Amino acid sequence: MTTNSSTTPDRDPLEEAVDPTTDPERLRHLAVQEGMEVRWAVLKNPAVPEDVWRKALLEGDPEAWSNPMAPIYLLGWSPQPGDWRTLEEAARKATYRLWVTPERCSPDGKVLLNVQIMNWWAASVSAEDMMDFLWFWAYVKGNGSEEHKAVVRLLVRCLRTMPDLSAKDRQALDLLDAWGASSGDQRRETEALQVSFPVKRTVRFAAGPYPWSNARFAISELLNEVTVGKEGKEREEAKTEHDRLLADLIRRGMPLPPQVK
């Protein structure tokens, strides 16, 4: 027999959490009052209240994507007052966590999440967001990995659109592009070149995809360069237009985003 009281002395909390006949209000209690294992089980329970599930989804909990009701809830999804993330941001957050601990989501949940990420990738007009997504992928895969090299080459492609590239900028980008294509490692040589700040950011990222060398920073600095000499509305329009151009460049280099497996 289930109850919505805060205690059920004859049942183990984890047992209650996975039982679809557990009272929804009891599941609400378990989601916040018990340990993470119980909470994660609750989020996969089809009887969990929708508001509890939605809050967890926006927090980036991968388990929320495993809930059998998730496809139905997502079909009718619309922003609500108080949302602190968009659905796309929540999907990216869950993906980051699954790249580290893939067992936190069911196969069906991963399919659902991958579709969401692909839809966002196809429609994104923010190269900064796209590169932030790719940065974490490279970070998880490790310094010098093929994934890291692929992101460096995408950054190089973006930075070649920067106006007034100096000869040393071009030299640094050529060396990084060659490394990304596995044509020798000359990353150290690029560190000695006197290059512009966006290229310097890319050189740092190529040295290692660490938090302080987030690839997004290079895109941000590039967009600042594009708006030099512009003010107000003209500045914002130039930044938006170039951001969209870079997003298309990234998609041409990587038509499909990294997937959760």
Residue 229: pLDDT over 50: yes
pLDDT category at 7 given cuts 50, 70, 90 is low
The predicted pLDDT at position 92 comes to: 98
Helix, strand, coil percent content, the chain, rounded in steps of 5: 65, 0, 35
Q: Rounded distance, CA 216 to CA 226, Å?
A: 16
Find the mean pLDDT for residues 182-199.
Answer: 90
Question: What pLDDT score was predicted for residue 8?
Answer: 52
**Structure-token pair, residue 138:** 């490279």
Arithmetic mean of pLDDT, 64-79: 96
pLDDT beyond 70 at 5 = no
Q: Which CA distances in Å does 61 have to 74, 98, 130, 175, 251?
A: 15, 9, 20, 40, 27
| Dist. CA 30–CA 13, nearest whole Å | 7
Q: Over range 174-194, report the average pLDDT.
A: 91
Work out the pLDDT band at 3, boundaries 50, 70, 90: very low
Q: Give the pLDDT confidence score for residue 82 in this predicted structure.
A: 87
pLDDT per residue over 111-160, tens digit each? 999 999 999 999 999 999 999 999 999 999 999 999 999 999 999 999 99
pLDDT at 72 (0 to 100) = 97
Lowest-confidence region among 101-115, 148-162, 223-237: 223-237
Please report the pLDDT score of residue 35 as a whole number: 86
* Distance separating alpha carbons of residues 210 and 86, to the nearest angstrom: 26
- 222, pLDDT greater than 90: yes
Q: Does the pLDDT of residue 235 top 70, yes or no? A: yes
DSSP 8-class letter at 244:
H
Amino acid 2: pLDDT:
41
* Structure confidence at residue 255 (pLDDT): 97
